[in-house]
Amino acid sequence: MLQVYSFLLAMPFLRGLKLVLLIALLMNPGVVSLRVTGIDHIQGFLRIAVFQGEEFFPEGIENALFKITEPVTSGTMTVALPPMEYGEYAVALFHDRDGDAVVDRNILGIPTEEIGFSSGARAVTGPPDYEDAVFQLETETLLMFIELH
């Protein structure tokens, strides 16, 4: 492995990839794929936020570890998250049908766009707790099913 990296260091046109490759080699990454079901309208975007820690979950999206936006193309979609270190995470997502990047709500504050969370967590009288949505990434690949409600 070290010989491969040494070879890459000698290639100037790969300069931008060197740090990314080094980090990937050192951090023991895993890849999470989300299988999202319950998409009622084939329009808009899936807005996905990945959190590491409970402090900002689920509404502090600006403080998420990372955010992904994917155009909705079918009623069931699979989205691969970027490689992440092994550890504890939670995912919150919503179907942004109108493309405004905001969860639309009715007069009572209840979301009118479908939302979903990792580990089967559900919003009942408010957003779920981090403990209900948390999952452990401890393998190279993980397929997680999330149903929008």
Confidence of residue 4 (pLDDT cuts 50, 70, 90): very low
Residue 50: helix, strand or coil by DSSP? Answer: strand
Give the start-end residues of each E strand in the chain.
29-37, 45-51, 66-71, 77-80, 84-85, 87-96, 115-117, 135-137, 141-147
> What pLDDT is attached to residue 2?
41
Say what angle helices 2-9 and 15-27 make with each other, to 10 degrees. Answer: 160
Per-residue pLDDT tens digits for 31-66: 999 999 999 999 999 999 999 999 999 988 899 999
User: Mean pLDDT for the chain?
Assistant: 87
Omega cis (within 30) before 58: yes
Per-residue pLDDT tens digits for 108-136: 999 999 999 999 999 888 899 999 999 99
Confidence of residue 1 (pLDDT cuts 50, 70, 90): very low
Kindly state the tokens that stand for 130.
């981090």
